[in-house]
Structure 1
């Protein structure tokens, strides 16, 4: 707090552009009487109502900060006129802090001389908390709020510079009790000072709220003289602590007779001389005190005992004892459901019990106990229960009586008690409700609805073959990932968690049964609790009517028309509720089909593909399912599931074929497979049947006689072709003339050796036809080789003829 005040003073000095100065102790240099008030407008009656924090607005005062001059309430629980003005008139000043900082009232400077004693005071007020209930910004300063108000006497030199100050105690949250308190200070003018003034401050170190009201400011000179009054202390003083376990003690309480507390200073110490805070002293222990008159220096002493004489109290306004006879007599916080009574009465899990009706001692103490000095022991807190049945159709009262023991100041023991009353009510059948439906998805919103009977969804869809009893439905919807804590229903007195009165984590109960919700021992609650027979005043039962859900004889598919009846056997009223349960196959058959491939035929570059039967085909409910072909990409299909399907005219490439299967509920299963058509068919090879070729004489100077012939593949081909692509032609033969003839090539050769001395010879030549995919076909052709070339002519050498020679005469030219 000292740091906060120092910071506030520094900020004030910055605002007023004055140097930082030091605080002086309260002091007195005069024993005479306190003179008249030197302030002309100490009661703030002269000024303009409203905001005055801009520097002016009140006669004789400078004002800076969040300051208002008021005469009537402004909505934030300021004091009403009957308690507002202890001074002359009805106006008062309100200072508050919306933001951190200082608000200040500065009075006029009065001429003064060194050594004179001055007294300053102002009345301060902050409302009680209850006076401010419901207001937007409370003026109450709560406990722990660091805001405070003070009054100072400031000492100024001839140039108006502050040399120092003395100040009062801080008016803080401890004084926020809805009453006016005079805060005062006394001081002696230091050397060098030429004037004195009063300063009233509201200091807000942080951003906490609250406000202080100020009225009846005084600044007065204390007359000179020597006090002849001798102090006479009481030998022993007993002080009763207030409701905050603090003392409101002042110095004059120790003095015999009347005395001005302003000039008294006192100190309290223990038996070893350590100083004790008089506001929060040690109680029930004798302490020492000493008092000194700061004006005369006279002193006296004695002993003091601080006593706590307030007994603890218990708040009995929560669920008070009323001896109610129906649920209408109790507030909602005091009503429990009948099915919660065993949890308390059989002393099921302690945390769960405490959630229903508070029984934790520490929680009870924090919630209901009140004692100024906390002079009680948590070990002395206890309770007992009294269950009073008014009949199963009316309900049960629970009276829980709390007792707190404590030790009084004189050492005697005392107790305080409080009885709280609760009511276990039967289940009200008229409050039964259904789950909401999501308007976007049409699905039921299964989430806890507490304190009422909840009906299961009116429409439930299950796979075929699932058990449609309430037990089967609950098992189907139960989350396998959560651990169910099932009740054993043995009703024995529990040992820790031996009796599971609450079934936890069975999510299926909400679908299969009428139910209610109850918190459990574990997390994740509240949990649905089934009503499958008798619970409290309710009995439930059902009847079923079964019809086929799909085609007659479609196994495992059925529709149940379930009629629930929930009877309140106390009133005779009952609720009928219909539930449609469809156990129906909604999934199509499952198929898996292998991929297949085929080659085109030799003529049209298309294929007729035998489609494979599915490797697997089955259905959850229909044991006799078959298949058919769906989308083929435009190709025609023939056949049936028994003999097989054929896909016609399929071109080269990969094609997706759809297989379909329909069960007896009309659900269709789909699967696709890939048909890949490739060209693995060789071309059609055609060769000529009669080919005759003759050797040709080739003359050379080495050997006059050489027969030679060559035949090309095109000469042998007779229109070979491929259905998809163009073809290439190559030939070969058994080599005789040239070794290269053994390899495929564009032609083969013949020579004289092929005739083997004869006039002709038949020679076989292979013709290979190959398409662009490397598919080939070979055909043979027989070539008849003949030698019809004759001898090779010899040209005579060059000669010269005369003009009379006949060049046609071979006898001359040769031949």
Structure 2
């Protein structure tokens, strides 16, 4: 025989060696051995077969495994160790194939130690044992324990093994038992006894079988009077649950399981759990069934009766009476009077058994209601809030859609009147700030009630009412004594406020501007440094005021009158009004509220300017008091810088020598009421009479100018002046005309009009000016003229007809030269008859009324 690679080394071994120590018959297919030069050859059986004893044990010895141990000199099994894979010792207590190894011990052997190995097939060859005293249902027995509590139509269940029946007592030494049976039925009809003959068959894990003695089980007809159990007289269901017997069974089945869970988390009812207990589960299911059955069906031996079962017939009738409410939504609530009747078909003379149930399918479960705490704010006009209670977040009933609710105040809150309005719902008016508890009460069709408390916090969440004044006019204020600092002005929040208020308490005012033209005023654009919107950490004015400056007029000014000067500027300001909403005594904290409103400020410069007069001045009498470089000039400053000034001398207390005091009134242009006074003192000394030079007499051509005037040499403060009176004489002494100038020079420092007798301070002189014209005028023309003597009619009645009374002679002359004049003197001489005798002389110098006057 050759060994395989799986078994070990390959070599030939005498066949006689294999026959030593075999424990079981059969051929040996495979051998193994380990070889050593210092130890005897060890040979183990390839496989030995071992059967477990009645205690499910098998003791494995060295001799059982080794082959040819008798040929080993001095063999002693105690010199070898036995190791069984999967076993703690040499005792095996379960069926299977095990690997066993035999190893030399040290001592007496020395290393290397020799060993060999093989297999053990452990089997259970003992069949299960039936207790002969457990055949409790022999043939023709009258033992009531062998009467099955079954109905005729449940025979299939016992045949399927689903109903527990008396069974033999079986003992198995080692493995699990598989139980089967073999039945023979003796059916004698519904009104007679039925017998089931059963042989129980038990098979263990090794396939060993044993059959029991016959068991005879009897199923007897139903005895109605004695065996039927009626359902409970009164049954209370939740509305919406079906009212058929099966519906009632299902309802109480679920109710029991809900109130009494099978598994408390230990896994005892979980078939997949290590802690699963089938007996416990079976008992639990029996309890569930018994509980549900007693409310739903008449029963016998725990089995429900309905319709035709074996020798019985079961019927019921219902009378339905509505309960709770007549609302259509409440139709699921009803009272049912149910009458059961059970008939015995095998005993027709027996009256049926009657059971009456009153089934109240009403809403026994209060509705579900869920509400949440909420906050409301006070009204804007007071410190009380109107609380409108919202509909519940969740409001349902297990039976119907008809659920109503009402709201009440919590006990111990007197004076709180919860009202109802079909449109507004439930509400409370004028509830002061604070925390209050109210209760929602939900009612279903059957007036089951569930109450849920809700806390309502009334807070001051309403911002205050912000009111501002409109058309506020403010003027700039100058900085007296600081002509380099422009005027400023401030508007405080209280000046803009027009009665802002909060219903719950005082308010705080803050103000800011919409823009800032005034550099250096960080708080103008922000309220304060509280950290809210439009606040600034560097704003330290606490929102009390805003500042305006002259640059506002420059940047935003309106020139209403067109004079080039801004008359006003419209500047927008914001008023923020805080309340103490959280009542912590501080404004601007988390629970506080604010409102904002704006207004326009009309900024004008209506300030009165300041004028500063120059110091009084002393000048010489001949100095010019209007030379401001000498006497000084006033300065004036308004709110926005220097302003124009002017002056008028309102009093002059001077001597005629220009010595004395001038009172000068300086004033601000356009502000005549803003003025001051300066006194100018003029001084000087008298230096004697002046030297006067009058113009000399002169003869001039008419083309020469006559512009000579008196001149003089006088002191610095002499006040000299001259005057002249002229007389003109024509044709005097052969001249064209002559002018007599009567000159007078007066020194007003000396001359006294009231003392004219002494003549001090006045000088006179006469000047003669002759104007001569040496060029005669020229007669333009002298032409001869002939006239007709044609007075034949003697029109003038003088008796002379050889005459002409209409003769008119005219002529013109021109005065030429540098002294020409339009005034000419005419003389016309008439020589009648050409005899060189002058008969008539006409002249412009004749008397005007004369016949010979020439106009």
Q: Please report the TM-score for the alignment, with normalisation by the length of structure 2.
A: 0.38
Greater relative contact order (CA < 8 Å, ≥ 6 in sequence): 1
Q: Please report the TM-score for the alignment, with normalisation by the length of structure 1.
A: 0.39
